[in-house]
Amino acid sequence: MKKFLAAFIAILAICAGLAYGSDQLTKSTGDTGNKVLNLYNWGDYIDPALLTKFQKETGYHVNVETFDSNEAMYTKIKQGGTSYDLTVPSEYMVEKMKADHMLIPLDKSKLTGMNNYGSSFMNKSFDRGNKYSIPYFWGTLGIIYNDRYVKPGALKHWNQLWSKKYRNDIMLIDSARDIMGFSLISMGHSVNTTNSAELIKAKDKLNRLSPNVKAVVADEIKMYMAEGEAPVAVDWSGEASEMMSQNSHLHYVVPTEGSNMWFDNLVIPKTAKHFKAIYAFLNFMNKPENAAQNAKYIGYATPNTSALKLLPKSIKDDKQFYPTQKVIDRLQVYSNLSPQKVQEYNDLYLEFKMHH
């Protein structure tokens, strides 16, 4: 009897272990049943309190997995073996994923609150009619300066960066498309040009900027600028917001001749399984009060104009991050270029970095 009992207990233990292992395996692959949503997002790009609120309201648990670049996200979904329900690509990557048949069209009949989005942020060139995407956050590329070294209001144009007064003073974000882009804009060209002669001229002009470039850096640019390591930087508005929250002497400006307007967007990849959860989440995030809460937490500009009205005056009236319509009309959105042209941009940018 003792042997039988011992054997019975052992079998129960094995079964429990197998059940636990199966549960852990399921959790590790991000699929924990029907009451779940698998979100593939940039790191720290949603207010955790909103996820808790969503689960409380709907019963859906959100599994979040993160990526650090559009390309990494694209590759992982393209390779298969994932079960992501929603992901957050930037504008050019929406266009690329759409062309590669990696996205599921939105069922507009299941969406509410789409009228909360401003017309300036909808129906963009990368997704006409918003057939596949809903804007999540938006921003610009611009110039950050420290008023201890640069007089407030003195920097208004891209071409001023070439001035000898900024010798060894400028940090650049390490991004081929953005750095080539502001050089192109400074000469009156499109950030989406495929004209090789224009691209070479943009690279040559960047070479002439080299004496003023202190460093070309990645994410650490935020730390360097916050600590006052350089008087001037070129970076995205979202990162500028983070820097400025740590250093009151920093300011952000979008040059008057225009710049890039970037979008991060919610889309449904082909790997999606939990459609009731997907539309519950999209409608939840479309609500002005939730979009406003998220914008306050992240610090980026919301395209939800109804949410904008709920933000503190100090945020919604800040023209550094919510520029006037006149400025918005001069901004350019990146198009998805052919692999050959992307390589040409990258090669020329690398030549500039080597020259620097």
**What is the predicted pLDDT for the residue at 79?**
94
pLDDT digits (tens, 9 = 90+) for 123-155: 999 999 999 999 999 999 999 999 999 999 999
**What is the predicted pLDDT for the residue at 329?**
93
Average pLDDT over residues 216-233: 96
**What is the predicted pLDDT for the residue at 319?**
92
Helix (H/G/I), strand (E/B), else coil: 265: strand
Judged against a pLDDT cut of 70, whether residue 270 lies above it is answered with yes
**What is the predicted pLDDT for the residue at 21?**
41
Q: How many CA atoms lie within 13 A of 111 on its CB side?
A: 19
Average pLDDT over residues 56-79: 95
**What is the predicted pLDDT for the residue at 31?**
52
Domains located in the chain, CATH noted = 35-138+262-322 (3.40.190.10), 139-261+331-354 (3.40.190.10)
State the pLDDT confidence band at 1, using cuts at 50, 70 and 90. Answer: very low
Any idea how long the chain is? 356
**What is the predicted pLDDT for the residue at 68?**
87
State the pLDDT confidence band at 33, using cuts at 50, 70 and 90. Answer: low
**CB burial class (10 A; 0-12, 13-18, 19+) of residue 85?**
buried
**What is the predicted pLDDT for the residue at 219?**
86
Judged against a pLDDT cut of 90, whether residue 307 lies above it is answered with yes
Write out the two tokens for 259: 């710049």
Helix (H/G/I), strand (E/B), else coil: 245: helix
- For tokens 């959100």, the residue is 62
**What is the predicted pLDDT for the residue at 212?**
98
Judged against a pLDDT cut of 90, whether residue 18 lies above it is answered with no
State the pLDDT confidence band at 355, using cuts at 50, 70 and 90. Answer: confident
More confident residue, 232 or 14: 232
Angstrom distance (rounded) from CA 122 to CA 102: 21
**What is the predicted pLDDT for the residue at 23?**
42
pLDDT digits (tens, 9 = 90+) for 186-205: 999 999 999 999 999 999 99
Judged against a pLDDT cut of 50, whether residue 354 lies above it is answered with yes
**What is the predicted pLDDT for the residue at 285?**
98
This prediction has a pTM of 0.83
Radius of gyration of the chain (CA): 24
* DSSP H stretches of helix in the chain: 2-28, 48-58, 70-79, 91-99, 176-186, 196-209, 221-226, 237-246, 275-286, 288-298, 305-308, 313-316, 325-328, 339-355
* DSSP H stretches of helix in 210-267: 221-226, 237-246
List, as one string, the DSSP characters of 54-82: HHHHH-PEEEEEEESSHHHHHHHHHH---
